Amino acid sequence: MKVLLVSTYEQIGGAATACQRLHRALSAQGVASELLVRHRQSEDRGVTVFRTSEKSLARLGRRWRRRLAESQISGARKPDYFSGDLADYAPEIFHQRRPDLVHLHWIHRFLDLGLVLRTAADRRIPIVWTLHDFRPLTGGCHFPGACNRFMVRCGKCPELSSTKELDPTRRSWERIHQAVAACRPYLVAPSRWLASQIQKTPDFGGCPVRVIPYGLDTETFRPRDKGACREVLGLPPNRTIVLYIADRPDDPRKGGDLLMEALMAIPKETRPLLLTCGRRAPEVPSGIESFHAGHETSARWLSVIYGASDLVALPSREDNFPQTGLEAMACGRALVGFRIGGIPDMIEEGEQGFLAEPGNAQSLRQALERVLQQPEMMWRLGVAARAKAEANYSLAASARAHLTLYREMLGR
């Protein structure tokens, strides 16, 4: 079986990490898997950087349309979580390739979403599409928050401060949804929450949807000796440590401010040390002792950072199925997070950790204290988290679930 996986990035971001891990998992099962990316970050021979030799007027026309569309959405209030659907490339990804199946992942700012689906439909190429956020469902937002205008075709976009029904988000919404209706891709959602949102969205709701959680290497991400991990990092051996990982800690979506508020509400004599990891150290109130482990991409080194902690916090206001939670579980760490998105798929209340009321810092504090004050419970939660990761989130489990889906599609 030849499978072409397509992603904008190879390693940057959770969606790219999930795609790369699936590529490795399929290759380990003997599948002829090729990962096609716009931007590469490794020397993996199975990863191909997209190159085009096309110099046609059609591509120049797509570039002009893309630049015009980008100028119309340049005023988005959250530009990192807002993007257009148009791009310079689409049909070229199928040139000189004869895959049995194409599996799209996060392809924004790389492929023209509508055109790539229509091309696949015209050529009768089976398409699987893993949705890592809301962008395919909306006219621009990756995470729409409280806005439900994507349920009514977008338009009058608050993100663009638009008062027009036929604004860039309406046109983007219609292009994508018309292409989806023509192609009928098989959609994969990493969480039950995202699957439910897909099924409620016009046009997308008629596409088949399957929930397949992300997978990871449970041999690299595994329980390690806490004392040894702390010695390596230079952390105190007898302190209670809460770990918070975020590449951009100032991003409101990740909820770092809520975690700080929750920690400050814990009495000083029992307040844990905060261990952080990411591209930048977060702003930590003076009453919280903290240590920043820097920005790490090595899975082995990340597992050492998880191993040094007692508990991992997931304070996101919005999230799909955060890789941080999976990695923490595989490393045998208890979790505390908000009851939002795909986090309840990971944390069964009282089994692998505890869930707080969304956006409520005091509820988060109570959940943290509930675990931190009971070391035996914390150990039991970590053991259960590791068992669930081995059973449900290993690379082998991910490969099996995807291969079952691929064979069903090709069989039809």
> Residue 96 pLDDT more than 90?
no
Please provide the average confidence, as pLDDT, over all residues in the chain: 91
Q: Distance (Å, rounded) from C-alpha 327 to C-alpha 78?
A: 28
Tens digit of each residue's pLDDT (9 = 90 or more) over 78-93: 777 898 888 888 777 8
Which residues are 274's β-sheet partners?
242, 290
Q: Distance (Å, rounded) from C-alpha 25 to C-alpha 121?
A: 28
Q: What is the mean pLDDT of residues 341-352?
A: 94
Tens digit of each residue's pLDDT (9 = 90 or more) over 226-274: 999 999 999 999 999 999 999 888 889 999 999 999 999 999 999 999 9
3-state helix, strand, coil in the chain (%, to 5): 45, 15, 40
Contact 1, 406 (CB under 8 A): yes
Residue 53 banded pLDDT, cuts 50, 70, 90: low
Q: Give percent of the chain with pLDDT exceeding 90.
A: 69
Q: What pLDDT, on the 0 to 100 scale, is given for residue 38? A: 87
**Predicted structure pTM score:** 0.91
Q: Distance (Å, rounded) from C-alpha 131 to C-alpha 261?
A: 32
Q: What pLDDT, on the 0 to 100 scale, is given for residue 54? A: 62
Q: Spell out the long-range contacts of 254-257 with Cβ–Cβ below 8 A and sequence spacing 24 or more.
A: 254/315, 254/316, 254/317, 254/319, 255/315, 255/316, 255/317, 255/338, 255/359, 256/282, 256/315
Please state which CATH number belongs to domain 226-392.
Answer: 3.40.50.2000
Lowest mean pLDDT among 40-54, 171-185, 234-248: 40-54
Encode 367-391: b = buried (16+ Cβ within 10 Å), e = exposed: bbbbbbeeeeebeebbebbbebbee
Q: Distance (Å, rounded) from C-alpha 330 to C-alpha 395?
A: 12
| Homologous superfamily, domain 2-215+394-411 | Glycogen Phosphorylase B; (3.40.50.2000)
Q: Give percent of the chain with pLDDT exceeding 70.
A: 98
In angstroms, what CA-CA distances link 397 with 119, 265, 341, 402? 31, 40, 22, 9
Domain spans, the chain: 2-215+394-411, 226-392
Lowest mean pLDDT among 289-298, 331-340, 356-365: 289-298
